[in-house]
Homo-oligomer: A and B are copies of this chain.
Amino acid sequence: MTEEDHEPAAGTHAGQVNMADVARRAGVSIATVSRALRGLPGVSPRTRSRVLSTVEELDYVVSPAASSLRGATRRVAVVLPRLDSWFASTMLATIESTLRQADLDVLVYQVGTEEKRTHFFRDLPTRRKVDAVVLVTLPIGGEEEARLDLMGVQVVIAGTRLRDFPSVSVDDVAIGYGAVRHLVDLGHRRIGMIRTFDTDGAQWASELNRLTGYLNAVAAHDLPDDPALVATVPYGIDAGAEGMRQLLALPEPPTAVFCYSDDIAVAAMTALSQRGLRVPEDISVIGVDGHALGELFRLTTIDQHVTDQARTASTMVLDLLAGHSLADSRVTLPTHLVERGSTGPPAPSRTREQRAGRTRSAQ
């Protein structure tokens, strides 16, 4: 007797409490427990509350594995190149918050290297595990793209576009163009750019597009289009500093520099301050992102509202899972110039003479 009183409330077997345990204890059928638990109609208030209190008592939770054997998994995968960039972690943070509110669980997959990307698209580890996958700024080749169709789940693209998948992104060409234009408006003519390349050999759409925007603006405003004004450096913490060093080593350095990202811009500014050069008096710097760090360094930037992009992508996921068709919904979000202290008019005459002198003596 006393012995029996000590049997665990959790049921007779060692493992998890299951729905049968609850049903038995509440004196109803399994079906009724299931209905009561999910708030389905056809359960009397009394029965429902009895079930619910038994559930409480036994500290029972439904097995997601068993229930998803029929329906949805209520899981979403977020796939991104790396987590250690401001862009990526902000994306993931916002997507997680938004989806979690809708009671969805979020799985993360980092596919930063060529190898991991290949594996991912070959094995498609997300198949049958999730209801949807969000691909964040992934460089995707032709074969990989084809594999996407086999994924068997909803696909949303964030930070770029891909075929006719639902996507949210910004206009990176316009970003590059707008940055240069801002510098032109301030009176600059000799404008450099610092871009990065992935040491892994991947082609980043945004990277290419921002360069295109830069080049378009250079052409449109009839600026000097010296190829040496574009410094291309390997991605890394020091990238911006290295790029700036290259530009400063030119016979005729630029008076303003457009940087691929805020990270790059901040690093570029450290290289300037190490040389004793002032921003923006000696050289103007503009970035892209809206990184919190930019505020600290009074960096002028083009804000691409990453949080908004992430929220939009999340909403798309929610809509798709709700059964809405999102055919042809490729959203381009607006970006905004945020003027802070790192851009200003060039110091024209002095700089020009100095440069001319230096150029001649160098040759």
Decide yes or no whether A92 CB sits under 8 A from chain B: yes
Instruction: Tell me the complex Cα distance, A296–B110, Å.
Output: 25
Instruction: Tell me the complex Cα distance, A129–B129, Å.
Output: 12
Q: Is the CB of A110 within 8 A of B84?
A: no
Query: Residue A296 contacts which of B64, B97, B238 (CB distance < 8 angstroms)?
Result: B238
Q: Is the CB of A93 within 8 A of B83?
A: yes
A32-69 Cβ-contact flags toward B at 8 Å (1 or 0): 00000000000000000000000000010111111011
Q: Is the CB of A90 within 8 A of B96?
A: no
Decide yes or no whether A292 CB sits under 8 A from chain B: yes
Q: Is the CB of B105 within 8 A of A59?
A: no
Q: Are A296 and B267 also in contact (CB < 8 A) when A93-B83, A107-B105, A129-B105 are?
A: yes
Q: Are A65 and B61 also in contact (CB < 8 A) when A16-B128, A83-B93, A273-B273 are?
A: no
Size band of the A side of the interface?
A: 35 or more
Cβ-closest chain B residue relative to A15: B152
Decide yes or no whether A293 CB sits under 8 A from chain B: yes
Enumerate chain B residues within 8 angstroms of A273, measured Cβ to Cβ: 273
Decide yes or no whether A127 CB sits under 8 A from chain B: yes
Instruction: Tell me the complex Cα distance, A296–B82, Å.
Output: 20
Q: Are A292 and B68 also in contact (CB < 8 A) when A61-B127, A93-B84, A108-B106 are?
A: no
Enumerate chain B residues within 8 angstroms of A359, measured Cβ to Cβ: none
Enumerate chain B residues within 8 angstroms of A62, measured Cβ to Cβ: 128
Enumerate chain B residues within 8 angstroms of A191, measured Cβ to Cβ: none
Instruction: Tell me the complex Cα distance, A293–B270, Å.
Output: 11
Enumerate chain B residues within 8 angstroms of A108, measured Cβ to Cβ: 92, 96, 106-108
- CB pairs A–B below 8 angstroms (11 shown): A16-B152, A61-B124, A65-B69, A66-B69, A92-B108, A96-B108, A100-B109, A105-B129, A106-B108, A107-B107, A266-B296
